[in-house]
Amino acid sequence: MPTLRDALSRTALSAADVDWLHRLVGDWQMLTDLAFADLTLWLPVQLDDEADPQLSPWFLAAHARPSTGPNFYHDDVIGRPPTPARERWLDETLTTGVTITPDELGYVREQYVPVVRAGRPVAVLVRHTDLHNMRQQGGLEVNYLQISQQLFAMVAEGAFPIEGAAIGVGRGTPRVGDGVVRLTADGLIDYASPNAVSALRRLGHTDQVNGADLSEIVTSRLVQGTSVDETVPLVLTGRAPWGTEIDSGGTNLTLRAVPLTRAGRRVGALILLRDVSEIRRRERELLSKDATIREIHHRVKNNLQTVAALLRLQSRRLTDPAAREALAEAGRRLSTVALVHDTLSQGLTEQVDFDEVAARMLRATVEVASTRTVVATELTGSFGSLPAEDATHLAMVLAELVHNAVEHGFEEQPEPAPGADRSSEQAAPRVVVDARRHRDGGQETIEVTVTDNGAGLPEGVAGPDRSGLGMQIVEALISDLRGAITWEAAKPHGTVVRFTVRLRSTSVG
């Protein structure tokens, strides 16, 4: 299905015209809700000389349905060619720049509105209303329709969309269904929808709404000492097309102002407002929970590092080399887990940027394991963002494999002979970790290769001794991640360890 961008590329419109139409479509949900009608945007397109003469020079490029009433079109109509009668009205509207409302359509009412920019029609906006299914008109419907006609007139004058208008005001941007207030040019309330009246009541206003000064209603209910954004007065009086938020004693209102003009003169304003108190309360709760979780991760990290330090201190008091080594290994493993919690304590989610963890872990592991040889490390590819539990498991596996590669692969590494090229990349001790992440259907997997150019495995041996605690930890964690691991000799020397893990699925709420 062609997009609006595709359709615009077939026109002779300038970049400024194209931007104008994008802004119109970006804000026309307000128009369709106020009009209780579907809206379609028709573009005059350029046809090739060899094109079929029966093809219409008009293209239906965009369509909006109201959320305030029944829809006119239930199927997708973008790209549908116009009927001969509609093509005639489109041509007339674009040529004359005058709004046309045909009267021979029975139970269907259509209004053809020229979309004007810089004094020149560039497209045609069509309003489609099914009179048979039209909402019974009361005070709300009459006022909404009046406001919509003012906005359509602004479209035909080139005054809508409004230059510098802010469509959104963050989470909780008000919509037509949330509350509508129409102001006079003096800022007095000419009409307020039932939802708007309820929002003002929750703000604390108990007097008559119609005829009241909206700015006075809101500002008189602000808590003393509350800082007020500089946009508030202009929004409350409808003088600027901006949005703002009011916080008054636990009640939060978002407001958006749309100045209404006629022939370039401001005649009033449309104010959309919404009570977002519950949304803001939940956001505050989430922020509090996020801060609590980050603090927990920070404390866990500190506790793990403290225990690791105590183990290192204790190991120095032992005379048995095996016991001393065991405590040092336990401290190193605790430090690896602490790295993950340190990363979690700095973010807002339970996801870990594992590339950062892996880089820090590589440096720390090599520094601990390499006592006689300087070993360079390199991280290629990308792990991406991982769930916290997967990140902890993967960090432990990598730490064990890299530690094993450095400790055993370069344990007997001889010193370079006098005069030898010490900067040679081939001869320099090196451990490379490569990560490749891909999705197979709905399952995400990571393939990791740990390569060193050390002494390598003894000839005829398929892998390391699995009786050691380190290898038992590696195999247990990889099994928990539903993965597999293999060892093989590297060329010309060294070891290559490959393993694949399947990530746990995470739901996005």
- In a 3-state reduction of DSSP, which class is residue 49? coil
Q: Is 83 exposed, middle or buried (0-12, 13-18, 19+ CB in 10 A)?
A: exposed
DSSP per residue over 371-400, as a string? SSS--EEEEEE---EEEHHHHHHHHHHHHH
Residue 344 has a pLDDT of 66
Residue 159 has a pLDDT of 95
Class of 176-275 in CATH: alpha beta
CA gap 48, 55 in Å, rounded: 10
Asked if the domains at 4-157 and 349-414+423-509 fall in one CATH topology, the answer is no
Average pLDDT, the chain: 83
399 touches 336 (CB < 8 A): yes
- Is pLDDT of 99 > 50? yes
Q: Give the phi and the psi of residue 471 in degrees, each rounded to 5.
A: -70, -30
Assigned token pair, 48: 């090739």
Highest average pLDDT, of 31-35, 164-168, 392-396, 408-412, comes from: 31-35
Confidence of residue 394 (pLDDT cuts 50, 70, 90): confident
- pLDDT tens figures, 125-148: 999 998 887 777 888 999 999 999
Assigned token pair, 498: 């490959």
> H-type helices in 171-242, by residue range?
194-203, 214-219, 232-236
- Is pLDDT of 434 > 90? yes
Confidence of residue 411 (pLDDT cuts 50, 70, 90): low
DSSP 417: P
- In a 3-state reduction of DSSP, which class is residue 297? helix
Residue 276 has a pLDDT of 87
- Tell me which CATH homologous superfamily contains domain 4-157: GAF domain (3.30.450.280)
- pLDDT tens figures, 256-273: 999 999 999 999 999 999
260 touches 150 (CB < 8 A): yes
Helix axes 388-409, 354-369, angle to 10 degrees: 30
CA gap 240, 166 in Å, rounded: 10
Q: Where are the domains of the chain?
A: 4-157, 176-275, 278-344, 349-414+423-509
DSSP 414: P
- pLDDT tens figures, 295-352: 776 777 777 778 878 877 888 778 888 887 778 778 777 777 777 777 666 665 667 7
- Is pLDDT of 456 > 60? yes
Starting at the earlier edge strand, list the strands of the sheet with 58-64.
Answer: 58-64, 38-44, 120-130, 108-117
Q: What pTM does this model have?
A: 0.62
Q: Return the CA Rg of the chain.
A: 34
Class of 349-414+423-509 in CATH: alpha beta
- Residue 499's Cβ-side half-sphere holds a number of Cα atoms within 13 Å equal to 22
